[in-house]
A and B are shown apart, each in its own frame.
Chain A
Amino acid sequence: AQKITQTQPGMFVQEKEAVTLDCTYDTSDPSYGLFWYKQPSSGEMIFLIYQGSYDQQNATEGRYSLNFQKARKSANLVISASQLGDSAMYFCAMRGPRYNFNKFYFGSGTKLNVKP
């Protein structure tokens, strides 16, 4: 069965420093997609970054990068130069296998607090 694990319920980071949010996943299918979303206090889920299981390079989107280690089944999100507006909940998610790709599996989330 597919599963996403985020082991950090909450984290603090100093403004302008980098922070890594952990995510591990479990799947037996070689084809899958990994996603990170940001959820500010308003509640809306904002897509940040995507990594495909066959992608050779780690995904990057501005200050966001995904440290993809396939053998370890980890997909950590790295936020460089943290800003106060980065304070939010962050969710790691995985799209289901090819035979059930309509399913998204979400982790329990990590609450990030950026300190001035």
Chain B
Amino acid sequence: SQTIHQWPATLVQPVGSPLSLECTVEGTSNPNLYWYRQAAGRGLQLLFYSVGIGQISSEVPQNLSASRPQDRQFILSSKKLLLSDSGFYLCASDRGQETQYFGPGTRLLVL
């Protein structure tokens, strides 16, 4: 079965600072990769998904961006963080019609 790693686990950043969250997947190849954000006590909002290296689809216009430099690596970035970027960020992976598997998440607090 596949394993998804995310780091860092927790991050506190000032407004206007850059961001880089990393997600790596083990135990599978050619996965679809996803970034979700979850506000406190809320459901999941899909931010980006990728079906292959260099292929990124954005679901919500915002100051975040995503990149997929390798098959099993997915990165979420921002040049300048906003207060509203605070939340819990989850990376997920799947192989088409199967269920999505999630990483442990990164808690981001922007002050």
User: Which residues of the partner chain A approach B88 to less than 8 Å between Cβ atoms?
Assistant: 43
- Contacting residue for B105 out of A44, A47, A50, CB 8 A: A44
Q: How far is the CA of A22 from the CA of B109 in the complex (A)?
A: 32
Query: Shortest distance in angstroms between A91's beta carbon and chain B's nearest beta carbon?
Result: 6
Which 3 A/B pairs are nearest by Cβ-Cβ distance? A45-B102, A106-B44, A43-B105
- 17 interchain pairs (CB within 8 A)? A33-B99, A35-B99, A43-B90, A43-B107, A44-B105, A45-B92, A45-B102, A46-B102, A47-B99, A47-B100, A47-B101, A47-B102, A50-B99, A102-B32, A102-B34, A102-B49, A109-B43
Query: Shortest distance in angstroms between B2's beta carbon and chain A's nearest beta carbon?
Result: 11
Query: Shortest distance in angstroms between B96's beta carbon and chain A's nearest beta carbon?
Result: 7
User: Which residues of the partner chain A approach B92 to less than 8 Å between Cβ atoms?
Assistant: 45, 104
Interface 1/0s, chain B 86-101, versus A by CB < 8 A? 0010101000110111
Whether the pair B102, A44 counts as a contact (CB closer than 8 A) is yes
Query: Shortest distance in angstroms between A87's beta carbon and chain B's nearest beta carbon?
Result: 15
Q: How far is the CA of A34 from the CA of B20 in the complex (A)?
A: 32
Q: How far is the CA of A11 from the CA of B44 in the complex (A)?
A: 20
User: Which residues of the partner chain A approach B51 to less than 8 Å between Cβ atoms?
Assistant: 102
Whether the pair B44, A91 counts as a contact (CB closer than 8 A) is yes
Whether the pair A103, B43 counts as a contact (CB closer than 8 A) is no
User: Which residues of the partner chain A approach B90 to less than 8 Å between Cβ atoms?
Assistant: 43, 45
Whether the pair B34, A43 counts as a contact (CB closer than 8 A) is no
Q: How far is the CA of A42 from the CA of B106 in the complex (A)?
A: 11
Whether the pair B42, A108 counts as a contact (CB closer than 8 A) is yes
Smallest CB-CB separation from B44: which chain A residue?
A: A106
Asked if B110 is an interface residue, CB under 8 A from chain A, the answer is: no
